[in-house]
Structure 1
């Protein structure tokens, strides 16, 4: 990343603001000794602003950076003494958003251990598979998940949140030196179509990744950020990293409830909200508060924005919505600003500074403007590969024929203005009667119907045409539609082969804990 751009962006966001020379020296020393990991970012923030509030949660209230670092170090010493956690071990975290997850996510790397962020929506069988495949030695979990842990192997140690609190309170004395290896963070893929895989996240080697994001999303030093997106998800965890890098204040709730989130954002004077798109949709389903929270940024990621959602949200809360398109594997690919979402509500935006984006056809050649192809991405924070108990490891890098890019598995196109549009997963596209059909195109169209709360469109087998579309709709309370009216609406705006033969009304779409629709669950409604 070019130095002038780096310095300019850091200055705009307040990171180069003068301060106490002693504290600045301590801050730089913390980054030099501990790097740009979550633990390193916490240490630099504690060195520069030790008394600033780092985390606000429902259990402990306000926790300063000094206190958070002390609690994480105490927990690390206890994990070393009680369980023998050492370099190379893996700690699984099955927790909702609260201070305990944050402290453990820091304590592990302080010992050189890896952290595996476990999706809270897994079944007991899936959890057992993840624990085995990721070679988790210690599983730290909230009390509510104790029933899921019954089938775990006896050699896997378990620690609930009360046990963690006891370890913090009764920590032995001792010194924590920087370990010989950096602890890595392993994030599970969404697992919407099968067992989730572990993706090993790299530690940033400088300020480049942070600068790339905050250039497009205007976050400033000291921002008060509500992180509603799950911290076990790439987006929620990235928000936590950015908050610590900016020496901001993080507001956490274990569960997302729209009215309560708006009130908490107002009460804690939050200037930023990090969420997944389904949460933004839920915010529109409750009455607007009498006093708006002072939100300047509502940043979403994790799944596509349904058609019209961006415009409806900004009409109510102002032009504050930013949409980041990325994945567990590529981190980020593009960011859409409010102005771009006003211009094109379904766009994924533009690549941040230093990000390379290519749309390639089946032969690996760039596609013309407007033509759909595979989306490939290159940036400073591509994942390091998948992890498994058997040592299997693959990244899909160089999927663009030696370009050093990573294939996202998505299809998309660029318009004449250079805006990116995601047309769906490559494996979601169906061929119906010889025609290529993208379900997301029909999905976005149906989402604009005023009676529809949410919709999913998928491909299902067809004896005559090979495949056909099936649409699953959730209606708003008191609204009504019939299948033929839905088909006629699609027929009016799309080609005949895009008309869903199956139109199924369901009470709710099955989603995982990050809001992604579970297509395998939808197929249970289907009758061939």
Structure 2
């Protein structure tokens, strides 16, 4: 454990160094030393320090930290897997999913987080590619799981736990590695191997910028199979928080849960904020201190609208499954520049490079590279991503302003060349998203016989709003160069999205 002055100061500011019973504090640090900083270790340090605190509450039950440790330990004994095996987890947010993930990692096995939006065909490929020994799934996914070997429905877990006497496990010979599937917005998902934190540094990098405190009551609305939802769970266990979970995100139910459980922090993806705003100003506001989002860019104007309604509580983390985090925008950043991705937190480096790997001047667009101690360990198929001097390619194009704020200009593979001009669809998306009639919009490049490529805009209007294609083109023409004007305007009832809220642009190009 590399405990630096920054770590000590941050932990003290966030309430992690408050005095406690000496035997509990001693056992807390012993647990981390023996088990490490993965889920199994973070749960054990929380259970010895705050055994009676509610760890997780979902629609059906609440579980204390002592109970969560007991149940996950007994489930570990009941599961027919061992160290090094890979276990698929196909579940919605629930206490059972958390128990399963901790049980698997306690064995030194590798949990594979499976997107609940996968088809049966995709799941079959994932099962083969990831060499799954077992898959634990919610009952609703039985038809999708089909005859995959070793399938255990979540409804069977309680009986498996009850059949095993209380256990005190020893740390496994190997540390389990969580495998997160990439979002699969452009094809079949790949398995990205996530590292286990080596100490307090990664946690402190995040809570230094996002002021989550020990014992916080947090609603994790982002799916736990998503990198951000999973990270929120890791942070919550480290903070001995009370985690509130709902199987599916429904805005009215989410607000009710926040009020019922006195939630002060929300972990979500941007599309969820949009849904909360659409409940209208008459909806009772929870006493939120933090709304932390990640997973996709904030659409134009959303940050300002959300803070105007809920207060200056919004934090936006830019990162990826492979890079973990790259930058964090605090409320002050978002007030000053609502489209910024923020600034790199402590211990993170961002570089904006040209095609030859040389830094570009401030304000100019280039390829974004990031370095921190939580870069992924490669894909399970043996491939990786481009590295330059230890910095990982994010696949995004962006720039940094004179104040050090990062901006995402678009995906490198989304940029099109139209009539010899470089065009970034994301720039036009943000412009159109600011129109009051527009609920959501996606802009993509499509083939063009004359110019090579051109832009097409797919627009979803707000209820009862009126806006025609010519007005959209005129708005872009008035604010951007002529080659940015989308020739094709398609009005839709909704954009196609995956289970984490990302727009499936490949479906728009059909």
> TM over 0.5: same fold?
yes
Give the match's secondary structure for 1:386.
Answer: coil
| Structure 2 match to 1:94 | 90
Q: Deviations over 1:15-70 (max 9, x none)?
A: 1111110000110111011000011000000010000110011111x210000111
- 1:288 deviates by 3.8
The answer to whether residue 382 in structure 2 is matched with residue 393 in structure 1 is yes
Q: Deviations over 1:350-406 (max 9, x none)?
A: 00001011000111110111110000000010000001xxxx3122252x2xx1000
- 1:176 deviates by 2.2
| Structure 2 match to 1:287 | 280
| Structure 1 match to 2:373 | 380
| Structure 2 match to 1:348 | 341
Counterpart CA distance in 2 for 1:66 and 1:487 is 60
The answer to whether residue 78 in structure 2 is matched with residue 78 in structure 1 is yes
The answer to whether residue 497 in structure 2 is matched with residue 511 in structure 1 is yes
Counterpart CA distance in 2 for 1:77 and 1:138 is 14
| Structure 2 match to 1:63 | 63
Unaligned runs of 5+ in 1: none
| Structure 2 match to 1:146 | 142
Q: Which region of structure 1 is more displaced relative to structure 2, 478-487 or 94-103?
A: 478-487
Kindly indicate whether the alpha-carbon contact (under 8 Å) linking 1:77 and 1:172 is maintained by their aligned counterparts in 2.
no
| Structure 2 match to 1:135 | 131
Q: Deviations over 1:140-189 (max 9, x none)?
A: 11111111112x44xx2101111112111212566522111011100000
Counterpart CA distance in 1 for 2:318 and 2:284 is 31
Counterpart CA distance in 1 for 2:386 and 2:428 is 31
The answer to whether residue 300 in structure 2 is matched with residue 307 in structure 1 is yes
| Structure 2 match to 1:462 | 448
| Structure 1 match to 2:238 | 245
The answer to whether residue 217 in structure 2 is matched with residue 224 in structure 1 is yes
Moved >6 Å (runs of 4+): none
Kindly indicate whether the alpha-carbon contact (under 8 Å) linking 1:9 and 1:211 is maintained by their aligned counterparts in 2.
yes
Normalising by structure 2, report the TM-score.
0.98
Unaligned runs of 5+ in 2: none
Give the match's secondary structure for 1:11.
Answer: helix
Kindly indicate whether the alpha-carbon contact (under 8 Å) linking 2:3 and 2:200 is maintained by their aligned counterparts in 1.
no
Counterpart CA distance in 2 for 1:90 and 1:2 is 32
| Structure 2 match to 1:499 | 485
Kindly indicate whether the alpha-carbon contact (under 8 Å) linking 2:274 and 2:302 is maintained by their aligned counterparts in 1.
yes
Counterpart CA distance in 2 for 1:363 and 1:18 is 53
| Structure 2 match to 1:486 | 472
| Structure 2 match to 1:434 | 420
Give the match's secondary structure for 2:509.
Answer: helix
Counterpart CA distance in 1 for 2:481 and 2:63 is 57
Q: Deviations over 1:437-459 (max 9, x none)?
A: 00000000000011110000010
Q: Which region of structure 1 is more displaced relative to structure 2, 478-487 or 437-446?
A: 478-487
| Structure 1 match to 2:4 | 3
Kindly indicate whether the alpha-carbon contact (under 8 Å) linking 2:349 and 2:371 is maintained by their aligned counterparts in 1.
yes
Kindly indicate whether the alpha-carbon contact (under 8 Å) linking 1:77 and 1:173 is maintained by their aligned counterparts in 2.
no
Q: Which region of structure 1 is more displaced relative to structure 2, 347-356 or 157-166?
A: 157-166
| Structure 2 match to 1:323 | 316
Q: Deviations over 1:80-117 (max 9, x none)?
A: xxx2x111111100000001110000001111110000
Counterpart CA distance in 2 for 1:495 and 1:173 is 68
| Count of aligned pairs between the two proteins | 509
- 1:287 deviates by 2.5
Picking from 165, 178, 183, the partner of 2:176 is: 183
**Correspondence 1:104-115 to 2 at 5 A:** 104-115=100-111
Picking from 265, 274, 292, the partner of 1:272 is: 265
Counterpart CA distance in 2 for 1:64 and 1:40 is 16
Normalising by structure 1, report the TM-score.
0.95
Q: Superposition RMSD on alpha carbons, in Å?
A: 1.1
Kindly indicate whether the alpha-carbon contact (under 8 Å) linking 1:447 and 1:454 is maintained by their aligned counterparts in 2.
yes
Kindly indicate whether the alpha-carbon contact (under 8 Å) linking 1:303 and 1:516 is maintained by their aligned counterparts in 2.
yes
| Structure 1 match to 2:402 | 416
